[in-house]
């Protein structure tokens, strides 16, 4: 499975309109600045009647377990000693109250 594409809803609507005009996928990709597989994926969504836009919205978003500040601390701790095992990493994180 590939990763989700970060194409805005506006660009997806533009691509869908261009697809309805029977324009070639490669030309649509050049016009909008996205790759051909993205155009193909949006074409599949349009053909199947799926909703355009992000797949997960609203209350379905996953809550963050750590803040971005805590993430930076974790990365700094891991970069200090790359050979720490799982238990030592957990102990270090407890020392920093993460």
Rounded to the nearest 5°, which phi and psi values hold at 61? -70, 140
pTM above 0.85, yes or no: no
Phi, psi of 28 (to 5 degrees): -65, -40
Note the pLDDT tens digit of each residue in 18-40: 999 999 999 999 999 999 999 99
pLDDT reported for residue 4: 59
pLDDT of residue 63: 73
The percent of the chain in helix, strand and coil, each rounded to the nearest 5, is 60, 0, 40
Q: What angle do CA 1, 86, 4 make, to 5 degrees?
A: 20
Angstrom distance (rounded) from CA 70 to CA 97: 9
Which helix (H) or strand (E) segment holds residue 97: the answer is none
The answer to whether 29 and 39 are in contact (CB under 8 A) is yes
For residue 65, what pLDDT is reported? 81
Q: Tell me the two tokens of residue 22.
A: 């029977």
Sign of CA dihedral 75, 81, 86, 88: negative
Q: What is the pLDDT of residues 48-94, one digit of tens each?
A: 888 877 665 555 566 778 888 888 988 988 898 888 888 988 888 88
């Amino acid at each position: 499975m590939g990763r989700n594409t970060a194409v805005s809803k506006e660009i997806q609507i533009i691509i869908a309109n261009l697809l309805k005009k029977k324009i070639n996928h490669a030309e649509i990709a050049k016009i909008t600045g996205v790759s051909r597989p993205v155009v193909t994926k949006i074409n599949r969504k349009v053909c199947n009647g799926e909703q355009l836009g992000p797949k997960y919205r609203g209350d379905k978003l996953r809550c963050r377990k750590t803040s971005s500040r805590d993430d930076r601390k974790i990365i700094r701790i891991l970069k200090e000693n790359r050979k720490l095992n799982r238990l030592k990493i957990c102990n270090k994180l407890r020392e920093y109250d993460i």
